[in-house]
Structure 1
Amino acid sequence: MSKTALIVIDMINTYDHQDAELLLPSARHVVPVLTDLLRRARRHRAPVIYVNDNFGEWRSHHGELLEHALTSPHADLVEPLRPDADSLFVLKARHSIFYETPLRYLLEQHGIQTLVLGGQVTEQCVLYSALDAHIRHLEVIIPRDAVAHIHHDLAEAALRMMERNMGARVCMSQELWT
């Protein structure tokens, strides 16, 4: 998969927000899958880009967000997904990975045309990011076992919408970077 990047959405997280209790079971299932997907992407030298909410901490940078998440009660969900020295990091303030971020410019600079979207939340940030990627003429792949949800039924509907309306490829993570 040349010119393909793995985008890790909102996994640097303290899980102290509204809906966290509903998200945690799915996140716990996704972390080992996403950890394995990260390992395979890195082995194939695919760019790994973390795009993460700044949680309203406008003075923070990604290192501070990571430190804070690693000292939270749910650090076990963050530690396995810790960015490495080659990972890129973009902060966002809203749902889409593109909204008011330099991500599009970063993708162009690296010649990236296909995005593998993993992380959370399927029916929110992943869905809106897939739509924004689609309207920017980027190819989108969603490994269904590497995205966490709050509401299972809405996540299934979002996956169907991404596949049908946006032409996203919805697959299992084991199909990628094998």
Structure 2
Amino acid sequence: MGRSGLIVIDMLNTYEHEDAEALVASVRAALPGVTALLERARAGEAPVIYVNDNLGRWRSHHGEIVEAALAGPRADLVAPVVPDEESLFVVKARHSVFYETPLAYLLGQLDVRRVVLCGQVTEQCVLYSALDAHIRHLDVVVATDAVAHIDAELADAALRMMQRNMAAELRRSGDISFENGPSD
């Protein structure tokens, strides 16, 4: 049957890009949901996997990405979600967490069949990641209160597409279980 895993998408952000100001308020609103999911996943001993953009630093590693995000102008949005010692980390360069990354292999090694997605940006990286998870026959859950957007209308449309076209479950973070079976 497989187990559940939490995928934290692009939360280690320097917020030094053209859409940053449009994103910040939504990230701030999503932060309690993300931190709640991190706590629940860790308490349930589910794998927590951060998949993060490399911020254009092609020689970087996860520690350097964390340091750069904490040194950015929005460290207050990063500090609550910094990976702990048990968290796993995958670096990506494009929108999907699967595109040319070892994530699919890692999920297979961990026997993860159900991915819970949180992070940013709903209408971009979360959407493309949900699609790629779906075509890999993974069960997809999107934590609606733990994803951030740039454009609210596009984010709503993206959530509807994930639910309708990718069979994604849309749930609030408090309603997501990290038990080995299906969600509550």
Whether TM-score is above 0.5 comes out as yes
* 2:147 matched residue in structure 1: 147
**TM, length-normalised to structure 2:** 0.94
Give the length in aligned residue pairs.
178
Query: What one-letter code is carried by the residue in structure 2 that aligns with 1:161?
Result: M
Partner Cα separation in structure 2 for residue 117 and residue 36 of structure 1: 13
* 1:15 matched residue in structure 2: 15
**2:105 aligned with 1:105, yes or no?**
yes
* 1:167 matched residue in structure 2: 167
3-state SS of paired residue (1:78): helix
Segments of 4+ moved more than 2 angstroms: none
Q: Which aligned pairs between 1:30-69 and structure 2 lie closer than 5 A?
A: 30-69=30-69
* 2:74 matched residue in structure 1: 74
Partner Cα separation in structure 1 for residue 141 and residue 59 of structure 2: 33
Identity across matched positions, percent: 63
**2:1 aligned with 1:4, yes or no?**
no
Q: Retained in 1: the 8 A contact 2:11–2:52?
A: yes
Partner Cα separation in structure 1 for residue 39 and residue 27 of structure 2: 18
Q: Cα distance, 1:53 vs. partner?
A: 0.2
Q: Cα distance, 1:177 vs. partner?
A: 2.7
Query: What one-letter code is carried by the residue in structure 1 that aligns with 2:15?
Result: Y
Partner Cα separation in structure 2 for residue 27 and residue 63 of structure 1: 22
* 1:176 matched residue in structure 2: 176
Partner Cα separation in structure 2 for residue 92 and residue 74 of structure 1: 21
Q: Cα distance, 1:71 vs. partner?
A: 1.3
Unaligned 5+ segments in structure 1 are none
Unaligned 5+ segments in structure 2 are 179-184
* 1:136 matched residue in structure 2: 136
Query: What one-letter code is carried by the residue in structure 1 that aligns with 2:130?
Result: A
Instruction: Provide the alpha-carbon RMSD of the alignment.
Output: 1.2
Q: Once the two structures are superposed, what CA deviation does each residue of 1:91-148 show, in whole Å capped at 9, x if it has no partner?
A: 0000000000000000000000000000000000000000000000000000100000
* 2:181 matched residue in structure 1: none
Query: What one-letter code is carried by the residue in structure 1 that aligns with 2:106?
Result: L
3-state SS of paired residue (2:174): helix
* 2:127 matched residue in structure 1: 127
Of 64-73 and 117-126, deviating more is 64-73
3-state SS of paired residue (1:65): helix
